[in-house]
């Protein structure tokens, strides 16, 4: 049974997310940049919720377990549980964050049956988008708009972030249109993520979460590539933090360490 009250924190490579659950509903949510030495800031943001059990997930979950006495849950389990709470009909989750991308097959009860993970290369992640937008002289919002207005995609052959950046700079010097390059780079992300999803055959809804899910361009290209609809929740970054909160153990003593 899912927790009725708890705090979930997802410490990711680029952002940290906090979700507070009370009486089975989200009472508060917070998203802020992950920076070195941020433990005092995390303590400050958690202080109003000191009476609730804390569960951590993400890259920094072990640190919070050691420093704050939190429980921990894997990102895969937390993401599946959070996705199920938001969309009970979800059977496949695509989670693209700052440094990794994953596909998770979700059970009808909110567990997971299988998953595919790309965490060996930043290609196909939010970090890749940031680097490529900078190489083309865009901020991320303009980068998305430029790609969506292109008449066609330029072919970008390099999948490695470093090589792709060099290739894009060279193509710009040769007169290639920035909008076409932007669309080609977005398409390369989708082409990178598609095999993860295609190896996990699943009926039912597809939920797209993580920071990159905020990109309308990626969401649209994924729909075309998968040939099926995908659902993007209103705040796709907090899904794993929500799942962590849902997995909180019942407690009448609060938690130590804050």
Residue 17 binned pLDDT confidence (cut-offs 50, 70, 90): very high
17 close to 29: Cβ distance less than 8 angstroms: yes
Return the residue matching tokens 């901020």.
Answer: 139
Q: Which residues contact 240 (CB under 8 A, 6 or more apart)?
A: 8, 10, 17, 57, 58, 75, 78, 79, 82, 95, 209
CATH architecture for the domain at 92-232: 2-Layer Sandwich (3.30)
Structure-block tokens of residue 69: 């006495």
Q: What is the mean pLDDT of residues 99-127?
A: 83
Q: Do domains 1-87+237-258 and 92-232 have the same CATH topology?
A: yes
What are the two backbone dihedrals, phi and then psi, of residue 22, each rounded to the nearest 5 degrees? -135, 130
pTM of the model: 0.89
- Which tokens in the block code for residue 40? 């005092």
Instruction: Return left, alpha or beta for 216; rule: phi > 0 is left, psi -120 to 50 is alpha, else beta.
Output: alpha
Asked whether the predicted pLDDT for residue 124 surpasses 70, the reply is: no
Residues in Cβ contact with 50 at an 8 Å cutoff, skipping those fewer than 6 apart: 254, 255, 258
pLDDT at position 128? 84
| pLDDT over 80 (residue 158) | no
pLDDT in tens, 203-212: 889 999 999 9
Would you tell me how many other CB atoms lie within 10 Å of the CB of residue 143? Answer: 24
The CATH number of domain 1-87+237-258, selected from 3.40.1080.10, 3.40.220.10, 1.10.340.30, 3.30.420.40: 3.30.420.40
pLDDT in tens, 37-67: 999 999 999 999 998 999 999 999 999 999 9
Q: Where are the alpha helices (DSSP H) in the chain?
A: 39-46, 61-68, 75-86, 126-135, 140-148, 161-173, 178-198, 216-226, 239-246
Query: Tens digit of pLDDT for each residue in 216-252?
Result: 999 999 999 999 899 999 999 999 999 999 999 875 4
Parse the chain into domains and list their residue ranges: 1-87+237-258, 92-232
Structure tokens at 252: 């009448």
């Amino acid at each position: 049974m899912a927790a009725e009250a708890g705090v979930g924190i997802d410490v990711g490579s680029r952002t940290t997310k906090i979700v507070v659950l009370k009486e089975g509903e989200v009472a508060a949510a917070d998203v802020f940049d992950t920076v070195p030495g941020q433990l005092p800031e995390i303590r400050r943001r958690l202080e109003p919720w000191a009476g609730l059990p804390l569960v951590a997930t993400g890259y920094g979950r072990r640190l919070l377990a050691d420093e704050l006495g939190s429980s921990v849950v894997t990102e895969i389990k937390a993401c599946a549980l959070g996705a199920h709470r938001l969309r009970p009909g979800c059977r496949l989750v695509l989670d693209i964050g700052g440094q990794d991308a994953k596909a998770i097959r979700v059970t009808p009860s909110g567990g997971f049956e299988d998953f595919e993970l790309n965490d060996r290369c930043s290609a196909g992640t939010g970090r890749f988008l940031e680097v490529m937008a900078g190489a083309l002289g865009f901020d991320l919002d303009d980068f998305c708009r430029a790609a969506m207005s292109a008449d066609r995609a330029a072919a970008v052959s390099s999948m490695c972030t470093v090589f792709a950046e060099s290739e894009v700079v060279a193509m710009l010097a040769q007169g290639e249109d920035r909008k076409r390059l932007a669309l080609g780079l977005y398409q390369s992300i989708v082409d990178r993520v598609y095999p993860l999803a295609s190896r996990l055959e699943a009926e039912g809804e597809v939920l797209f979460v993580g920071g990159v899910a905020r990109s309308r361009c990626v969401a649209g290209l994924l729909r075309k590539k998968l040939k099926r609809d995908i659902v993007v929740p209103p705040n796709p970054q907090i899904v794993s933090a929500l799942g962590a909160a849902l997995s909180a153990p019942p407690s009448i003593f609060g938690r130590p360490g804050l």
